[in-house]
Amino acid sequence: MTTAVPSPPADEQELLADALARPWYHTIELRPGVLTTGAVDHRRIAPRLLPADLGGRRCLDVGTFDGFWAFAMEDRGAAHVAAVDLERYDQADWPPRNRPRLLAEGGDGDPGERFRIAARLRGSAVERVLTPIYDLDPDVAGGTYDHAVLSDVLLHVRDPVGALEAIGRVLRPGGRLVVAEEINLRLSLLSPRAPAAHLQTGWTDYGWWQANVAGLREWLHQAGFRVAARTFYVIDAVKAMRQWHVAYEVTPDPTAPQAADRPR
């Protein structure tokens, strides 16, 4: 016997049609078997970076954009998921020389437009938290978390260590953070052990630092984390964005200076 799947209400059908007609940043399953056309598709790498079961966990996705990682954690049974993002693009750390042009090009837009569509169509309970990463603390983030994801955000911040320290303030002792970032392949091969980063402000609109593998590790070390695992991958994305990535899974290092001893 087959059970008919009820069709969504008319306004949701309209929303779905509108969603499927748009370009997305993330490939996201809006309804079973119905996918957005995203520039970036994390579905293949997600099982390598996330535990299969997050049941009972409080999870945080920092820099969620269309929401892929937040929804992926919700799908894995998280008790609560918060998705952090900026309220407007122009709150980002744009390189100062690029700011006037980016503003003139409509930089006051809202990074959460597609997230809200996906959340509604998926029937998601993910809570959106609007704040620059540096201001994260338990009051702003609605508590502390067991599991956090920070994926492809550090390249957009002027102060990567400060951004990581802010996540440290909202991670519980023994909590896990996955930091996935594109890496500078040349600097990683030329100096595999020496931390280094390429300053990209001169030739990208929004980019700051592209670290080598050792550089990202050093940022994590300075921010008070200890590495538990490392994964290399090439991101599934449109050609211009198909870069080598490293994902470090880290935990708070109890021997590092604690939040109270770190000036904000």
**Could you give the CA distance from residue 29 to residue 32 in angstroms, rounded to a whole number?**
6
Going residue by residue from 94 to 133, which x/- string records binding to ligand SAM, judged by CB under 6 A? -----------------x--------------------xx
Cβ 14 to ligand SAM shortest distance, Å: 26
* Phi, psi at 12, each rounded to 5°: -75, -35
Name 80's Cβ contacts closer than 8 Å, sequence gap at least 6: 58, 59, 127
Q: Which is nearer to ligand SAM, 86 or 177 (CB)?
A: 86
CA-atom Rg of the chain in angstroms: 19
In the chain, the amino acid numbered 5 is V
Sheet holding 127-130, edge to edge: 127-130, 80-85, 58-62, 145-151, 171-182, 244-252, 225-234
**Could you give the CA distance from residue 7 to residue 147 in angstroms, rounded to a whole number?**
35
* Phi, psi at 14, each rounded to 5°: -65, -45
Q: Which is nearer to ligand SAM, 136 or 213 (CB)?
A: 136
Q: 246: which strand partners?
A: 181, 232
**If binding is defined by CB under 6 A, does position 209 make contact with ligand SAM?**
no
In the chain, the amino acid numbered 84 is V
**If binding is defined by CB under 6 A, does position 160 make contact with ligand SAM?**
no
Q: Which of 57, 156, 169, 245 binds ligand SAM (CB under 6 A)?
A: 156
Q: Which of 24, 54, 81, 85 binds ligand SAM (CB under 6 A)?
A: 85
Of the candidate spans 2-10, 59-67, 118-126, 170-178, the one that interacts with ligand SAM by CB under 6 A turns out to be 59-67
Cβ 106 to ligand SAM shortest distance, Å: 14
Closest CB to ligand SAM: residue number? 63
C-alpha dihedral, 29 to 238 to 43 to 111, nearest 10°:
-60
Q: Which of 50, 59, 81, 92 binds ligand SAM (CB under 6 A)?
A: 92
**If binding is defined by CB under 6 A, does position 166 make contact with ligand SAM?**
no
Binding residues (CB under 6 A) for ligand SAM: these are: 40, 63-65, 68-69, 85-86, 92-93, 111, 132-133, 151-153, 156-157
